[in-house]
Amino acid sequence: MMEDQVVADEDMVQEEEADDFQDFMEIDKLQAMGINAADITKLKQAGMQTIRSVQMTTVRNLSKIKGMTEAKIEKIKEAAVKLLPSGFQTGIEYSLKRRHVVKISTGAKELDKILGGGLAHTLCVMAQLPGSMGGANGKAAFIDTEGTFRDDRIRAIATRFGVDGEAALENISIARAFNSEQQMDLLVDVAARMAESGDYRLLVIDSIIALFRTDYCGRGELSERQQKLNQMLARLMRISEEFNVAVFITNQMCSDPAGGLTFVADPKKPIGGHVLAHASTTRLYLRKGRGETRICRIWDSPSVPEAEAMYQISEGGIIDAKD
């Protein structure tokens, strides 16, 4: 009877949390923040129906809407941030929000279990470990551009190293970026946090290029994209030097049409061109190996020779490949 009561109480708490949580916030709420109704109508006509959609749209694209001046756009962006804050938060705060994410099974329980994260998550926990365990005894910051961060992976990896999962999440600052401009703004925010705390030892951006590919389309905008990407990389290098933090960024690959003509076994190339290549100290290429193994190859580095290493992704994160 007591157990039934406890379960019932937990269900009531979850229902109350669900009632308080909103899946989205209507764009009409901007009017309460002083935004003109006519301007809200223009945003709707441009395909924006929620506050989040305003945050996802760059200033550059908002300026293409007829009648949208620079002053109006700035006011709209500020109002959106006040209604729906989108800066850094702790792993615990992020975890609370993740409770409201609707999870749909694949139909196979074992398949549901194996869908998880790997290298970036492992590094976020490793950065917190003492030096004797290969860590940096500090905090980590994670800028998520593709919705890849998972709090349950952090807990599992922390358990492997004998660290409390909640404490590990508390030591990770997470922010979700929805466009390349916001991604750049978050670097200003994270630099301020590092200056205030002095405990950060790792900055992860997963991935560096995704939002640039969305915001800048076609060859006509390639030059501008590369210039903006270069500015971001230069800022990352300054942050690394200024605060003595390791910067780990993930990139995307694309098929190389010319690769088949040169008889290359795996005709793929990293996106971002020379701008991204020259800004990176060491570049790694990760690919699937045989069975459960994966292969990490030194793609380019000024300090270490070209080499390969095998590893596996386990429930506890990255581990040595089993024989």
Tell me the pLDDT tens digit for each residue of 253-305.
665 655 554 555 555 666 666 676 676 777 788 888 888 788 888 877 777 77
Query: Does 221 have pLDDT greater than 90?
Result: no
| Per-residue model confidence (pLDDT) at position 5 | 45
For 23, list phi and psi in degrees, rounded to 5: -65, -35
DSSP annotation of 321 reads: P
| 7 vs 42: CA distance, rounded Å | 48
Query: Does 7 have pLDDT greater than 70?
Result: no
| Per-residue model confidence (pLDDT) at position 19 | 47
Tell me the pLDDT tens digit for each residue of 129-141.
888 888 888 999 9
Tell me the pLDDT tens digit for each residue of 185-198.
898 888 888 888 88
The residue that leads in pLDDT, 34 or 87, is 34
Q: Which two structure tokens, joined as six digits, stand for 3?
A: 């157990």
Pinpoint the alpha helices (H) of 48-117.
51-56, 59-62, 70-83, 91-98, 109-114
Average pLDDT value for residue range 122-151: 89
| 308 vs 287: CA distance, rounded Å | 11
Q: What angle do CA 282, 288, 291 make, to 5 degrees?
A: 140
pTM of the predicted protein model: 0.70
| Per-residue model confidence (pLDDT) at position 139 | 93
| Per-residue model confidence (pLDDT) at position 15 | 45
